[in-house]
Amino acid sequence: MKIAIVGSGALGLYYGALLQRGGHEVHFLLRRDYDAIMKNGLTVHSINGDFYLPSVSGHKAPDTIGPVELVIVGLKTFANNSLGDLIKPLLAPETQILTLQNGLGNEELLAELFGAERIIGGVAFLCSNRGEPGHVHHLAAGRIVIGEYQRRANVRLERIASDFTSAGIDCRTTVDLKKARWEKLVWNIPFNGLCALLQQSVDRLLKVPHCRKLVRDLMIEVITAANKQSLSQDIAEKFADGMLEFSDGMGEYKPSMQIDREEGRELEIQAIFRVPLEYGSQQGVGMPRIEMLAVLLEQL
């Protein structure tokens, strides 16, 4: 399968590298890492075993890639205004678009730009960071859950999941993409928000009892709002406890928003905070802790 990676950060580089190693024709749209990868290849440092790709198809513009079968979008959501220009040259009549971006609202935007029938949503439970240019570090997890933006037969989902699994990616399908998105927010909202605000890694937050309780309280606010969104099944409160236990094993992990703040980049506040807050408000659900966290992040 010919695949284009739009947004070759830690997520895009990691999954793209696995897909290339698995035999797919992968084209990376690169910025910061272009010169290093073109000269020295791409190195993946992974808990599942390191590997090296000496030759990678890297591009500075989508026009040199041309039409592909699958576009994987890993772009930071604050750059979504560039999606039209970045994806349009990659489209053929049957091209599918899979967004693995954080937060809510990404499928809706892509559907408006390119047609709802092309759009597949995905939630990546991945702990990864970029190192020096040309290096990506996979620290934990890696599972992807994919679902159709529009309800339709699962045939293409199963095909993509099979291709991903064959490449070494734990990929599963869901009939309730909305639920999968909200489940990811149960982790993303408290940890991305608090770690960015306080400039402390996940393990440091969890070591302090009052911070740990605040993380759980934020998770419960997300779950309460999620369960008013007509999900196929409610998210149980114990899901928060499972997320805390999972996070205990991460060690000194810095979420992406903390790294973005450290490196002076814009923060993904709209997709991760403001859109979920709006969905909660529409259903009469107050999320005061999350609202306060969003306001404080906006002041940064």
Q: Which residues are known catalytic residues?
A: 184
Query: How many angstroms separate the CA atoms of 145 and 173, rounded?
Result: 5
CA distance linking residue 277 with residue 294, whole number of Å: 9
Strand partners, 39: none
* Closest by Cα among 201, 208, 213, 205 to 240: 213
Show the tokens assigned to 169. 């990616």
CB 140 within 8 A of CB 113: no
Cα 260 to Cα 271: distance, rounded to the nearest angstrom: 15
- For residue 175, the surrounding DSSP H or E stretch is none
CB atoms within 10 A of CB 241: 12
Residue matched to tokens 């339709």: 152
Please work out, in degrees rounded to the nearest 5, the angle formed at the alpha carbon of residue 105 by the alpha carbons of 104 and 111: 140
- Cα 66 to the chain's mean position, in Å? 24
